[in-house]
């Protein structure tokens, strides 16, 4: 006899895991209808914490076993990419190619959806991954675990998706199913609560504050650029925002931890 799980919060969590990761989920256990990611949006930061936990644990294990921090950080990053299928990395590269090349909205959209990578996309990926590695190395040397760094970083990027979606309208080029709808105040509150409680425990308040300011800056810049270029945001744009906001939030922590202190 097949057991069908009907608890809304459990269903929402596994729907987001299925959307953001390559972890196999048998959705028929939950429903015969497609997942509602807009209603499940409260769980986005929770999935970020899960990805960070799994990839960070592997990196921390290798550090514990005596592997160099540099190599352990690379292993942790690789694990996160395997878990997510380079979901946001792909969005970053496509967005960089499209917005970097410019032109008409139709041309930009065509470039974004071209499977081939251009110069802007390659450079964005290289610089983005190097920045992520540098941030991890710096924070590990400051005494933080990879689990804590990656968990909060990924959760911050997922939370930024919700704010981006509420601040900016969809582009007419946005594909159905690749972008969530407007997030309710209730779901936004729950998502913020999930994110802020562990973050306040792990990192200093002033670092969180600076990271939040930098996140707002990135959302505004990319959102406005996308609005001008495409008339709104798309799934790839949200992926780029998630990737970059993860980096700038951790940068805020680094600035306060290393430079200010």
3-class DSSP string for 151-182 = HHHHHHHHHHHHHHHHHCCECCCCCCCCCCCC
**Distance, CA of 206 to CA of 168 (rounded, Å):** 28
36 SS3 class: coil
The backbone torsions φ and ψ at residue 171, rounded to the nearest 5 degrees and listed phi first, read: -75, 155
Domains of the chain: which residue ranges? Answer: 44-260
Cα–chain-centroid distance for residue 75?
Answer: 18
pTM attached to this predicted model: 0.93
Q: What is the radius of gyration, based on Cα positions, of the chain?
A: 18
At 8, which helix (H) or strand (E)?
Answer: helix 8-20
233 SS3 class: strand
Mark residue 174 as left, alpha or beta (left: phi above 0; alpha: psi -120 to 50; beta: remaining): beta
Please say if the pLDDT value at position 3 is more than 70: no
Residue pair 210/218 in contact (Cβ under 8 Å)? The answer is: no
Q: pLDDT digit string (tens) for 233-258?
A: 998 999 999 999 999 999 999 999 98
Interval 203-221 mean pLDDT: 97
For residue 221, what are the contacts with CB-CB under 8 A and spacing of at least 6? none
Q: pLDDT digit string (tens) for 139-157?
A: 999 999 999 999 999 999 9
**Distance, CA of 191 to CA of 38 (rounded, Å):** 12
Amino acid 56: pLDDT: 98
| Long-range CB pairs of 70-79, under 8 A, 24+ apart, other chains included | 70/137, 72/146, 73/133, 73/136, 73/137, 73/140, 73/146, 74/133, 76/136, 76/146, 76/150, 77/129, 77/132, 77/133, 77/136, 79/54, 79/55
Tokens of 219: 């959302």
What count of Cα atoms within 13 Å lies in the side-chain half-sphere of residue 83?
Answer: 21
Please say if the pLDDT value at position 176 is more than 80: no
Q: pLDDT digit string (tens) for 110-120?
A: 999 888 889 99
Residue pair 128/91 in contact (Cβ under 8 Å)? The answer is: no
In degrees, rounded to 5, the angle at the alpha carbon of residue 124 between the alpha carbons of residues 173 and 86 is 70
Pick from 213, 242, 254, 64: which is nearest to 154 by CA?
242
């Amino acid at each position: 006899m097949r057991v069908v799980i009907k608890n809304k919060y459990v269903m929402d969590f596994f729907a987001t895991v299925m959307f953001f990761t390559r972890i196999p989920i048998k959705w028929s256990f939950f429903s015969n209808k497609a997942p509602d990611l807009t209603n499940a949006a409260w769980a986005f930061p929770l999935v970020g914490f899960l990805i960070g936990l799994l990839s960070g644990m592997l990196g921390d294990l290798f550090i514990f076993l005596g592997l160099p921090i540099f190599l352990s950080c690379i292993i942790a990053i690789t694990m996160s990419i395997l878990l997510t299928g380079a979901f946001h990395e792909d969005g970053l590269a496509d967005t960089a190619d499209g917005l970097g090349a410019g032109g008409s909205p139709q041309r930009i959209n065509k470039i974004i959806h071209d499977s081939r990578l251009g110069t802007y996309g390659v450079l964005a990926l290289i610089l983005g991954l190097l920045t992520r590695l540098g941030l991890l190395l710096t924070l590990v040397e400051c005494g933080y675990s990879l689990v804590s760094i990656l968990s909060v970083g990924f959760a911050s990027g997922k939370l930024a998706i919700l704010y981006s979606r509420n601040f900016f309208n969809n582009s007419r080029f946005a594909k159905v199913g690749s972008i969530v709808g407007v997030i309710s105040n209730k779901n936004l509150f729950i998502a913020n609560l999930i994110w802020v409680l562990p973050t306040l425990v792990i990192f200093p308040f002033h670092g969180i504050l600076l990271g939040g300011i930098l996140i707002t800056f990135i959302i505004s810049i990319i959102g406005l650029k996308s609005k001008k270029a495409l008339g709104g945001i798309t799934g790839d744009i949200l992926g780029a925002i998630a990737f970059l906001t993860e980096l700038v939030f951790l940068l805020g922590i680094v600035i306060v931890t290393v430079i200010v202190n």
